[in-house]
Amino acid sequence: MNSREQFLKTINHRQPDRIVFDMGSTGVTGIHVNTVAKLRNYYGLQNKPVRVIEPFQMLGEVDWELIDSLGVDVVGAWGRNNMFGFNNHAPFKEWKTPWGQRVMVPKNFNVTYNEKGDVLMYPEGDTTLAPCARMPKTGYFFDAIIRQDPIVEEELDVKNNLEEFGLISDKDLEHWRIEVDKAYFSGKAVIASFGGTALGDIALVPGMNLRHPKGIRDVAEWYMSTVMRPDYIKSVFEKQVEIAIENLTRIFSVVGNKVNAVFTCGTDFGTQESTFCSPEQFDEMWLPYYKKVNDWIHENTQWKTFKHSCGAVETFMDNFIRAGFDIINPVQINAGGMDPVKLKKKYGRNLVFWGGGIDTQKILPFAKPSEVREHVLRTCDIFNKDGGFVFNTVHNIQANVPVENIVAMLDAIREFNRK
């Protein structure tokens, strides 16, 4: 059975012949560009500058050479523009990172440097505007710069927090048709990140793609507004979902069921030990809008819906299920209450665990290869029973992770599959 067939068995909770493996298909299941280069060198692949496929987090492209070397089963369909609002595809140019690596970036990846040597990024790549993100001189990825105007309560207008959400253009529809076809005809499983359905994702709230973002754009202010201005936030979500369903209708008309899963939302609800809100507040503030999107997807397509949330979200799993999500990621097994055995036993019949294969905070970067092997074999043994498990790390693999540990992880997956 090929990758897609194994994937379909897995996400439909049937025992696959082997573990399905994802590495690089989305912005939360990828590898830092620094580490991609080291993996390519380890496997003896062509020595070339790696393409930055997601510039905010500086994720590197897992290209077809590396897909074959790693044994990846899932490929991603990516949008035309990136989080900074400019075209994320060819033509490319070469750029030297602060850590000295030469990488390939889109043409409008235009940056400047401040007096500290930090890298400044601009919306739409327009350096005449105020910068929207900053990468510290000693850093490896960007952080958003808050550009929120002072809030005048009586002048708050829901339309301002909807500026980035509009009906999809014909140009973008044609992009998705080509992008999905390219992924589909690879024979791999396909996950698409169509966008527009992330309700309050703090990576998107600052509006880094907007020239002059208006409304509530400060992350702390947004969190406070879910309590202080719930009607405002609900109005944003209501209109956003209305636009999203219209866009998904149009997208489905050109890509159909060539997509197997759709990255629906990346809003985090967990910290290392707890959650940002109560399950009751989730049901009041988020669940109705998630459910509306997920219901449309399930009633009109064969896509599975993918929900990302970091942290200690075990107490939210039933809420995610009732909201209609099929898949949970990254399955942060090192967070409070996120015991793999408990998660699989309690929720494994209703949720696919996409991630949780290895702890990326302590084990992957700091353990010995032998410890990595033992850890991976254990998580595979727990999660793989009766399907419902796509192996990925707990969130993206960061820069400077020892290559020998990544190889130990890959070897352990292969070892498990030979059992």
Instruction: Map out the domains of the chain as residue ranges.
Output: 3-91+150-417
Q: For the whole model, what pTM was predicted?
A: 0.97
Q: What is the pLDDT, as a whole number, of residue 1?
A: 61
pLDDT at 419: 83
CB 314 within 8 A of CB 340: no
Among the residues of 229-351, which ranges form H helices? Answer: 230-255, 279-285, 287-300, 317-322, 340-347
Q: Which residue, 237, 238, 228, 240, is CA-closest to 151?
A: 228
Q: Tokens 């040597």 map to which residue?
A: 117
Q: Does residue 295 surpass a pLDDT of 90? A: yes
DSSP three-state, residue 357: coil
> Could you tell me which of 33, 29, 35 has the C-alpha nearest to residue 400?
35
What pLDDT band is residue 264 in, cutting at 50, 70 and 90? Answer: very high
Q: Predicted confidence band at 143 (pLDDT cuts at 50, 70, 90)? A: very high
Cα–Cα distance list, 300 to 10, 168, 288, 304 (Å): 21, 19, 18, 11
* CA-closest candidate to residue 84, choices 138, 127, 148: 127
Residue 116 pLDDT greater than 80, yes or no: yes
Output the pLDDT for position 162. Answer: 97
Is the predicted pLDDT of residue 292 greater than 90, yes or no? yes
Q: pLDDT > 90: what percent of the chain?
A: 99
pLDDT 10s digits, 367-404: 999 999 999 999 999 999 999 999 999 999 999 999 99
Mean pLDDT confidence for 59-88: 97
User: Are the beta carbons of 69 and 75 closer than 8 angstroms?
Assistant: no
Mean residue pLDDT across the chain: 97
Give domain 3-91+150-417's CATH number out of 3.50.50.60, 3.20.20.210, 3.20.20.370, 3.30.2320.50. 3.20.20.210
Of 128, 85, 139, 129, the residue nearest 108 (C-alpha): 85
Q: Is 227 exposed, middle or buried (0-12, 13-18, 19+ CB in 10 A)?
A: exposed
CA distance 413 to 419: 10
Kindly state the helix (H) or strand (E) to which residue 92 belongs, with its residue range: strand 92-96
